């Protein structure tokens, strides 16, 4: 089993510190695989974030696959483990992937053009839970995961990642349920739903921490917090 962790962090703000924290803590808590930590999109053949938002995830994952990875972890720089990561590996062994709900629906955070691309109405999207695309683990030995990633890449190439974070002036939809677009997260969650993939409940293994957030559950393995 060849594992790889991939992360891209722009060289500004707190992101490089978060990337270093992620690298150090993954080693500390049992990750055994390659780590591809990028600081420039040209290192792995990705367009800029401005050209196609969050498309760097597609290219970073593909970079790892091209180098023989079978299980690929994508993790944002705000995420880091606080204990042994084996519970996540067990889930991946059983299901072929790890996703965790983030507490919102596609109806709230998907623009009209993306719903149309996937053949959905706004009412359909009320049933679709979103997952935290900042933390995905994919076992590419599984046909389901290869299909998921193919559809994910197709949606990126069709520019469905593009859209505004807010629905100001109804830029994303005239439907009041739409609050904005969540780019790769919206697309990945819809694809997972259409493929019948299940998520861990929100807050089970990944917890937001800091002022204003609830105390993490005992099951929490990863925390999400920018580096101050």
> Domains in the chain, ordered, with CATH?
3-203 (3.90.550.10)
Q: Which residue has the tokens 């998520």?
A: 199
Which tens digit of pLDDT belongs to each residue from 143-199?
Answer: 999 999 999 999 999 999 999 999 999 999 999 999 999 999 999 999 999 999 999
Which tens digit of pLDDT belongs to each residue from 48-83?
Answer: 999 999 999 999 999 999 999 999 999 999 999 999
The whole-model pTM stands at 0.96
Which tens digit of pLDDT belongs to each residue from 193-214?
Answer: 999 999 999 999 999 999 889 9
Residues 6+ apart with CB under 8 A from 119: none
C-alpha gyration radius of the chain: 17
Confidence check: pLDDT of 120 > 90: yes
Confidence check: pLDDT of 1 > 90: no
Supply 215's token pair.
Answer: 């105390």
Strand blocks (E) in the chain? 3-8, 34-38, 71-75, 79-81, 97-98, 101-105, 129-131, 135-139, 206-208, 222-224
Question: How many C-beta atoms lie closer than 10 Å to residue 94's C-beta?
Answer: 9
Confidence check: pLDDT of 8 > 90: yes
């Amino acid at each position: 089993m060849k594992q790889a962790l991939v992360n891209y962090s722009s060289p500004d703000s707190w992101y490089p510190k978060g990337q270093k924290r992620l690298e150090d803590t993954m080693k500390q808590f049992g990750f055994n695989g390659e780590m591809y930590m990028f600081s420039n999109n040209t290192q792995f053949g990705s367009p800029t974030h401005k050209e196609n938002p969050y498309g760097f995830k597609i290219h970073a994952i593909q970079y790892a696959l091209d180098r023989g990875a079978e299980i690929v972890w994508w993790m944002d720089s705000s995420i880091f483990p606080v204990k042994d990561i084996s519970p996540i590996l067990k889930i991946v062994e059983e299901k072929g992937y790890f996703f965790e709900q983030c507490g919102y629906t596609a109806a709230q955070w998907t623009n009209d053009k993306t719903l149309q691309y996937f053949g959905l109405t706004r009412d359909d999207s009320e049933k679709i839970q979103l997952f935290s695309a900042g933390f995905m683990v994919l076992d590419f030995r599984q046909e389901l995961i290869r299909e998921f990633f193919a559809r994910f890449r197709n949606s990126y190439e069709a520019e469905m990642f593009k859209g505004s974070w807010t629905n100001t002036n109804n830029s994303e939809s005239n439907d009041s349920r739409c609050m904005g677009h969540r780019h790769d997260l919206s697309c990945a969650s819809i694809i997972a739903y259409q493929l019948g993939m299940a998520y861990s409940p929100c807050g089970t293994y990944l917890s937001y921490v800091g002022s204003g957030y609830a105390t993490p559950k005992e099951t929490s393995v990863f925390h999400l917090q920018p580096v101050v």
